[in-house]
Structure 1
């Protein structure tokens, strides 16, 4: 299945932070972290041993951080402030569920902050506050079910980013709007008109005109991940789905899917 049942998600979303932290640890290899000495933004912290930890599984609104001509995303300062209040100068443990180091040398981990009433899973807490969204990678997919549950609840309550049009869920049948978001990470919702395999790729077509309408593409390497997970994307004909990923412009707006968790099945008919 590409998505847990709504009842299961609601149950997970209602769990306390400490209960969720305990549950998440079942999937992770836990390790000593250290003290958080600085917070870079809403999803990155520095530890007292010099390690920079990218909080895997989430994407908080981005700050320029010295990049030229980079506009601050809405609520980026608020996300940084919230993470500082949660973690700055506090001891943490790290949980690993996939690749541990990225190309920039940052540690990729789930962060658990020591608190008076138990550990706080920082990723889940930021998502639950509406100050981050789920953002996964093919080589780092642990604990996403719990994060999706928290995100869904925050989105329904219009918390944080979910009250700002910048982060709105886009409609697959509005390709012009999607083209204007090329280069952005988006959530796109719509019904798949045709799922087909051509030339070693799978195309999920959301319209009849493939050079104009929105399409999600699964390349050969990603298809192997789908197969390993026991998922056949070709069964998604007619399904109502939510796709997440970076929008580009190649024969109309499209998103490349690299792993199954980028697809949430909302209805099969």
Structure 2
């Protein structure tokens, strides 16, 4: 199945396209750190294992013959960490950053990026209808914060299911769904809990873990934990996981997405949190 939207050409995405997709993940990076290379390898292995012979995994977008975006479509019942309300065999799910156009391109070419997002979502919605799925769920960013934002999904009939204002994200769906039962982590009086939620399907999970471990090293009254959300979905939800990552929090409060900080900066933020709680 191919689809066109002006200059955008949409083609099916399979396991064979993973390396091409990974190049978009690190678009703009002149050199790729070893830990990110390891994360990319981990993502490749994850997808190959997850696919288990399935050829179709979503769509790639080509703009003027250059690969510039993708959307990964997973059967929702296969995604272990989803909120129970989303886990249905007749729906599809788009993980965070799995409807994707590289940030540098989005900033320089907003109109073309919009065309790419729209072409990918149109192809996904059409695929769902043609293959007996009742709809698609996903993650949208607060308008003006990042892409794809809420308005991107709303143009294709999606509605907000739950808002996470502290993370500036929304869960969205193109089909009716009940309000999510979101849990809040328990706060201990004697220490702060720093948690990184890391899906193996994202190449930045290992880098996020490395940053948090270095930031927390030898800090008093701090307990750090890395949670693989695919392996420990129940625990992730109990700790306040909003359904997407990599994400690092402290006592249920947002610290940073993916690997978008340094150990030194993060350490200072954690120390400030400890001071506010009277633990430092």
Higher helix share: 2
TM-score computed with the length of structure 1 as normaliser: 0.29
TM-score computed with the length of structure 2 as normaliser: 0.28
